[in-house]
Amino acid sequence: MLVINDTHCGVNRSGGTTPTTFAMLTEYVQEKFEGLLDIPSADGCVLLNGDAFDGFLVSNAVLLRTYTAICERLESCTIKTFFLARGNHDIARDTAKLSSFDLLGALLTDVQIWLPTITTPLGRVPC
């Protein structure tokens, strides 16, 4: 199993950046995340172990690009089983609020990948 954590897609750094360097940093982080998804694992399993996103909410563009990157690898069977776990950036004290992580998990459930809560898997993608 390949374990990836703290990818912080949608990185939001304003100090010491210009609009150009901010865009470059955002693109760099996303490209590195996608590169990590391409690292082969013997069993085809990947665990995204928390803090997929840099904050509780990210732009829809970042969310969609992250979702698309994962789906493309599931559909091509580069990744056979995908696990998604929460990090501290993915939850709020107010449980009525949904994060970008929650939306990503809901979208990925539609393609039947594994979305464990702390201990319980909800689905599986056959490959």
Furthest-apart CA atoms within the chain: distance in Å? 46
pLDDT top residue among 94 and 37: 37
Domains and CATH numbers, the chain: 2-110 (3.60.21.10)
Sign of the C-alpha dihedral computed for residues 95, 101, 42 and 68 taken in this order:
positive
For position 110, what pLDDT does the model report? 53
pTM, full prediction: 0.82
| Of 44, 56, 123, 118, residue with least CA distance to 91 | 56
For position 126, what pLDDT does the model report? 39
Q: 59-98: per-residue pLDDT in tens?
A: 999 999 999 999 999 999 999 989 888 888 777 777 788 8
Give yes or no for residue 112 having a pLDDT over 70: no
Q: Where are the alpha helices (DSSP H) in 16-99?
A: 19-37, 60-75
